């Protein structure tokens, strides 16, 4: 495939993207998402080895995650603004290269350098989803939004699978710095392959678009806050994302600390949860498109997350690994599997031209949940001396989100709405 084979979006007489372009965008956005996700998760997988070199305790995992997603919370607001100026592909390429540099710095045995690396990973992670949402909204029929967005979002657990299986093995063989290098190489590969579709997908960029300012960066947040339906979804995503990242970031620590599993076995346990998340994202997206409305799917997933968290508190070192693995699979399918349905719901509430802004503004709240969740989770785990009770306490915010989703009604969020565009 060459750039000449790819026509720009809305190229034919009916205003539809070419079939070649439509077929190519989903695999590319999936790879980009997987590489960014692997970069964010890999240091948490290698945490036992990395923390031992730095003399830090398990609670440091929570602060690492907070640093990554704190940076992502703000950099996600650049996604819509930079996407207009650079195009969504160039924005994704820059983001992946930031992730590659960041994950290498996290492997350096110095807490200050590792902190800078975490911030760079987050700076790269934030713009990925808004850019991908713009690409897919322009190339996907609306009736297939939930399944296509869900498949793309499987890149998050796919990245977790890569990190869960690759990082422990490379760490045992060569040390954590080489494990981080392997993940950085995946990010570079994603950025290089993106160049293939850049002539088509970045052709609509506006090179004269203004650079980000504080007002423009916060425009998507104001857009979401100004529309009740979007804001309710965003606040529910805050809770769901906190649960998700506690599962993905603390599973290895939970299995090695509470259940006394080896690092390789714990990495495999994380991979099981992430593989289940891949399957869950596709299944839930299919259900939301064909057999149920998205709100009911999200309610069911939230209820299942609540039950899984309560059951996690009952596990100990004597629990058979089969039961632990089954529970991790169900937990992963739900806590990791909700995002595609959520993003597709946002895309349906707003016009196509506002998809990136609505996604960016919503992600501000999504990432805020990731910022505050893991440090609190880690503090609760350390206070109990084990992390099972921390999973159980996640039932409290989940209960609020279930009530909010039960009462949620979609509302218009059109281009004429006041909010200062992103």
5: Cα within 13 Å, side-chain hemisphere: 10
- What gap in Å lies between CA 400 and CA 238, rounded to an integer? 11
**Radius of gyration of the chain, Cα coordinates, nearest whole angstrom:** 20
What pLDDT score does 200 carry?
77
Tell me how many degrees the CA angle 391-396-398 measures, rounded to the nearest 5. 85
The closest alpha carbon to 194, from 51, 25, 65, belongs to 25
Which pLDDT value is given to residue 413? 47
pLDDT of residue 7: 39
Q: Using an 8 Å Cβ cutoff, are 281 and 157 in contact?
A: yes
- The rounded distance, in Å, linking the Cα atoms of 88 and 92 is 6
- H/E stretch holding 392 reads helix 388-393
C-alpha to C-alpha distances, 131 to 13, 85, 198, nearest whole angstrom: 26, 12, 12
Tokens of 69: 């997603």
Q: In whole angstroms, give the CA distance from residue 165 to residue 272.
A: 10
What is the total residue count of the chain?
422
**Rounded distance between C-alpha atoms, residue 380 and residue 58, angstroms:** 11
For residues 336 and 270, give the distance between their C-alpha atoms in angstroms, rounded to a whole number: 11
What are the b/e assignments for 170-179, b being 16+ CB within 10 Å?
Answer: bbeeeebbeb
Question: What are 31-69's pLDDT values in tens digits?
Answer: 999 999 999 989 988 887 887 776 677 777 888 888 998
Angle between helix 263-290 and helix 294-312 axes, rounded to 10 deg: 160
| Euclidean distance between CA atoms 36 and 98, whole angstroms | 10
Q: What is the pLDDT of residue 65?
A: 83
Q: CATH number of the domain at 22-196+216-407, out of 2.70.70.10, 1.20.1250.20, 3.20.20.140, 1.10.490.10?
A: 1.20.1250.20
What is 181-246 written as a DSSP string? HHHHHHHHHHHHHHTTTHHHHTTT--TTSPPP-HHHHHHHHHHHHTSHHHHHHHHHHHHHHHHHHH
d(CA 338, CA 333): 8
Torsion angle, alpha carbons of 11, 12, 17, 23, to 10: -120
- Amino acid 116: pLDDT: 94
Mapped onto helix, strand or coil, the DSSP state of residue 140 is: coil
pLDDT number for residue 412: 53
Q: pTM of the prediction?
A: 0.71
- Is residue 233 exposed (0-12), middle (13-18) or buried (19+ Cβ within 10 Å)? buried
- C-alpha 179/C-alpha 189 separation (Å) is 16
CA distance 233 to 245: 18
Q: Is 366 left (phi over 0), alpha (psi -120 to 50) or beta?
A: alpha
Are 98 and 120 a contacting pair, CB within 8 Å?
yes
Q: What is the pLDDT of residues 167-219, one digit of tens each?
A: 999 998 988 899 999 999 999 999 999 888 888 777 777 776 676 666 666 77
Burial state string for 270-286 with b = 16 or more CB within 10 A and e = fewer than 16: bbbbbbbbbbbbbebbb
Contact 177, 106 (CB under 8 A): no
Say how many CA atoms lie within 13 Å of 146 toward its Cβ: 23
- For the chain, 422 residues long, the average pLDDT of each consecutive 10-residue run is 39 56 81 93 85 72 85 77 82 94 90 91 89 79 74 82 90 90 95 86 73 71 85 92 90 91 91 89 82 81 96 94 96 89 77 73 84 88 90 94 86 40 29
Write the DSSP symbol of residue 418: S
pLDDT at 8: 42
DSSP 8-state class, residue 171: H
Distance (Å, whole) CA 100 – CA 102: 5
* pLDDT score recorded for residue 349: 75
Q: Residue 337 in contact with residue 281, Cβ under 8 Å?
A: yes
- φ/ψ of 196, rounded to 5, equals -60, -40
Residue 390 has a pLDDT of: 94
């Amino acid at each position: 495939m060459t750039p000449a084979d790819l026509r720009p979006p809305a190229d034919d007489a009916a205003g539809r993207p070419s079939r070649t372009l439509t077929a190519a965008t989903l695999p590319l956005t999936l790879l980009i998402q997987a590489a960014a996700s692997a970069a964010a998760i890999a240091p948490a997988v290698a945490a036992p080895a990395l923390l031992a070199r730095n003399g830090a305790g398990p609670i440091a995992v929570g602060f690492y995650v907070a640093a990554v997603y704190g940076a992502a919370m703000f950099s996600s607001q650049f996604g819509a603004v930079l996407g207009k100026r650079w195009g969504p592909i160039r924005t994704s390429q820059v983001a992946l290269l930031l992730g590659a540099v960041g994950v290498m710095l996290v492997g350096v045995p110095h807490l200050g350098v590792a902190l800078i690396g975490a911030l760079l990973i987050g700076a790269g992670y934030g713009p990925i989803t808004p850019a991908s949402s713009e690409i897919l909204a322009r190339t996907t029929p609306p009736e297939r939004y939930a399944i296509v967005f869900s498949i793309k979002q499987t890149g998050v657990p796919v990245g977790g699978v890569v990190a869960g299986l690759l990082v422990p093995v490379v760490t045992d063989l060569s040390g954590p710095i080489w494990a981080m290098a392997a993940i950085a190489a995946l990010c570079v590969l994603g950025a290089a392959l993106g160049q293939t579709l850049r002539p088509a997908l970045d052709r609509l960029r506006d090179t004269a678009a203004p650079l980000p300012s504080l007002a423009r960066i916060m425009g998507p947040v104001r857009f979401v806050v100004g529309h009740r339906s979007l804001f309710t979804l965003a606040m529910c995503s805050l809770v769901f994302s906190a649960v998700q990242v506690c599962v993905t970031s603390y599973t290895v620590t939970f299995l090695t600390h509470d259940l006394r599993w080896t690092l390789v076995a714990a990495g495999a346990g994380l991979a099981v949860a992430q593989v289940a998340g891949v399957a869950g994202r596709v299944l839930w997206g299919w259900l939301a498109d064909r057999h149920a409305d998205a709100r009911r799917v999200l309610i069911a997933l939230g209820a299942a997350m609540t039950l899984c968290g309560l059951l996690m508190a009952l596990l100990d070192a004597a629990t058979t690994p089969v039961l632990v693995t089954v529970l991790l699979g169900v937990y992963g399918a739900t806590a990791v599997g909700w995002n595609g349905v959520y993003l597709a719901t946002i895309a349906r509430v707003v016009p196509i031209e506002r998809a990136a802004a609505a996604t960016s503004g919503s992600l501000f709240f999504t990432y805020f949940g990731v910022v505050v969740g893991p440090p609190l989770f880690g503090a609760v785990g350390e206070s109990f001396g084990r992390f099972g009770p921390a999973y159980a306490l996640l039932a409290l915010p989940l209960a609020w989100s279930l009530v909010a989703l039960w009462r949620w009604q979609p509302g218009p969020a059109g281009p004429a709405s006041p909010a200062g565009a992103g």
